[in-house]
Amino acid sequence: MKKKSSLKKLLQTHSQLIHSEEQKVLSHVQRIDGEWVINTLMVEGCDVPFRYRRARQYRNLKGARVNLTYYPETETVAGLEFEFMKVVRIRQS
């Protein structure tokens, strides 16, 4: 129960956060960016990538079901804007 209450508190504190459960991961790519590893997920039913950073590489999540807490964000690359979802919290279901 403590995990659920911490999630509820997080969602109440930050109104822009979105929480999705039991999302199936279609692809998972990890690339090194300085001291961080940037993880990019593509989730079934959504054509916008989900991104998060970790200090080390993580096991491949392709085909796994995950619970995601995220918010939409945009990034400008070469004058073009790209939308992605910035993951705040990820848990394997």
Confidence grade of residue 93 (pLDDT, cut at 50, 70, 90)? confident
Instruction: State the total domains in the chain.
Output: 1
pLDDT at 1: 44
| First and final C-alpha spacing in the chain | 16
pLDDT at 46: 92
Tell me: pLDDT of 6 over 90.
Answer: no
Domain that holds residue 73: 2-92
- Report which of 37, 53, 47, 44 is spatially closest to residue 89, judged by C-alpha positions: 53
Phi-psi region of 18 (alpha: psi -120 to 50; beta: other; left: phi over 0): beta
- Domain of residue 87, CATH code: 2.40.50
Contact 67, 91 (CB under 8 A): yes
Distance in angstroms (rounded) separating the CA atoms of residues 25 and 38? 16
C-alpha count within 13 angstroms, C-beta hemisphere, residue 63: 2
